[in-house]
Amino acid sequence: MADTSIEWTDATWNPVAGCTIMSAGCTNCYAMRMAARLEAMGVEKYAGLTRKTGGRAKWTGAISLDQKALTIPSTWKAPRNVFVNSMSDLFHPDVPVDFIRKIWGAMAGTRRHTYQILTKRPDRMAEILSGAGFAILPNVWLGTSVEDGRVLYRLDELRQVPAAVRFVSYEPLIGSVHGGKLDGIQWAIVGGESGPGARYMDPIWIDEIFDQCTRAGAAFFFKQWGGKNKKAAGRAYRGRTWDDMPEVRL
Ligand code: SF4
């Protein structure tokens, strides 16, 4: 039973919360809105992470490290796919390397789970994970988010990351990623933006990604069309759903 509505995972795990805007894909950041709501509900971990500006919640830049959360995956007995840090970016510059090392320890100690980590900072991910104390874990998939052609360089940075599985999330897809190459990347997720202020996704941009996957032999996962009513828009592409996952080489 999934604990999250995110189609490509079963559960979220948030040892870190808080972030700062990085690029156009962050404009309508779900985590930023959700952190404000959680703070209003009195959840201590989210206190001071956002403030209201022009009627909208904005990150303050504060980062919260949740030591107690480190043991949560060990309490899940059945294997799960776990999205790490849906409420932050694990490779934000203010997340200490020592804390990332603790997260690696928690994942190494619970190999029954598959961990999915997404960052908009794959340069820092590559630098840290190439250093001492970080083994390649077969149960950890490492990915980057790319929202349009302006940040395609993140794919090259991701290719520098030592990983069992590399993946890209093209969500929210707000522009063409024509020319992107998926060599060395095993999985691509595609999704349109949803919620307030959702931006348009052109079907041609999806075709471009579908072709990238075919050329590189990467698995293709179509998450959603998005828009104001994402349920009504659905998730069929070319007349079917696409839920492919990467093959794991152990
Ligand atoms: S990097 Fe991710 S968590 Fe951070 S502001 Fe951007 S979308 Fe939100």
The mean pLDDT of 210-220, rounded to a whole number, is 98
The predicted structure's pLDDT at residue 72: 98
| Band (2; pLDDT cuts 50, 70, 90) | low
Q: What is the identity of the amino acid at 157?
A: E
105: enclosing H helix or E strand: helix 97-108
Residue-wise pLDDT tens digits, 200-214: 999 999 999 999 999
**CATH placement of domain 2-16+66-233:** 3.80.30.30
Nearest CA residue ID for atom 4, ligand 1: 19
Under DSSP, is residue 169 helix (H, G, I), strand (E, B) or coil?
Answer: strand
Residue-wise pLDDT tens digits, 119-138: 999 999 999 999 988 999 99
Six-digit token string for 52: 């209201």
Q: What is the pTM of this model?
A: 0.96
Residues 6+ apart with CB under 8 A from 111: 137, 138, 139
The predicted structure's pLDDT at residue 249: 60
The predicted structure's pLDDT at residue 225: 98
Torsion of CA 120, 92, 184, 247, to 10 degrees: -90
The predicted structure's pLDDT at residue 132: 86
Q: Is the pLDDT confidence value at 1 over 80?
A: no
Q: Is the pLDDT confidence value at 250 over 80?
A: no
Ligand 1 neighbours, Cβ below 6 Å, are 19, 21-22, 26, 29, 31-32, 88-89, 120
E strand spans, 5-55: 11-13, 16-17, 50-53
What's the gap in Å between 80 CA and the centre of ligand 1? Answer: 24
Residue-wise pLDDT tens digits, 164-194: 999 999 999 999 999 999 999 999 999 999 9
Q: How far apart are CA 18 and CA 65, in angstroms?
A: 9
Nearest CA residue ID for atom 7, ligand 1: 26
Beta strands at 219-224 and 187-191: parallel, antiparallel or unpaired: parallel
What does residue 73 show for φ and ψ, rounded to 5 degrees? -60, -30
Residue-wise pLDDT tens digits, 81-101: 999 999 999 999 999 999 999
Residues 6+ apart with CB under 8 A from 106: 15, 70, 71, 73, 74
The predicted structure's pLDDT at residue 92: 98
Six-digit token string for 207: 């075709």
Residue-wise pLDDT tens digits, 40-70: 999 999 999 999 999 899 999 999 999 999 9
Q: Is the pLDDT confidence value at 4 over 90?
A: no
Q: What is the identity of the amino acid at 175?
A: G
Six-digit token string for 177: 């990623």
Q: How far apart are the first and last CA of the chain?
A: 26
CB atoms within 10 A of CB 13: 26
Q: How far apart are CA 155 and CA 162, in angstroms?
A: 13
